[in-house]
Amino acid sequence: MPVEEELYTRLTGFTDLTDLLSTTTSVYFVKKDGDQPGYPFVTYEFAATIQAHHTMSLPAAFDTTDQLRVHVWAKTSIVCRNVAAQVREALHNYSATAIVACIFDTQADVLDPDEGIYHRVLDFDLTYTVSV
């Protein structure tokens, strides 16, 4: 299963998180302009590749570490904080078939230009294996 699918499955299957979201489909790989789901919702993206190196296993593979950036969007500050806490709980120290490790790094509150929208960003170091 590709890394994106494993992340999506983890986030949409984490009950403490989905209980706080407007629907179980409130998790998106990227936020599309003009596509405004019900609040609160979560988007995520790969922000940067930190490192990549060959593994010594067969078949040949790379272990890659990317910065995974998760955005939490809500209409109240408390809901934004609670959803962000559950995202962190769901992903910190998570591993799966292709995901070697997902480690929480930092978080920041972002001032959204739309009044009444709360936005928190969480960064994770995501190490996963890519077969070549």
Grouping H, G, I as helix, E, B as strand and the rest as coil, residue 26 is: coil
pLDDT at 32: 47
Decide if pLDDT at 47 tops 80: yes
pLDDT at 2: 84
- Distance (Å, whole) CA 16 – CA 11: 10
Closest CA to 21 of 77, 83, 88: 83
Average pLDDT for the chain: 83
Residue-by-residue DSSP string for 31-100: PPTT---SSSEEEEEEEEEEEEEE-SSSS-EEEEEEEEEEEEEESSHHHHHHHHHHHHHHHTTB--SSEE
Q: Does domain 3-32+39-131 have CATH number 3.40.50.620?
A: no
Say how many CA atoms lie within 13 Å of 110 toward its Cβ: 16
Contacts of 55 (CB under 8 A, 6+ apart): 61, 62, 63, 129
Average pLDDT score over residue span 55-84: 84
Instruction: Please state, for a pLDDT cut of 90, what percent of the chain lies above it.
Output: 36
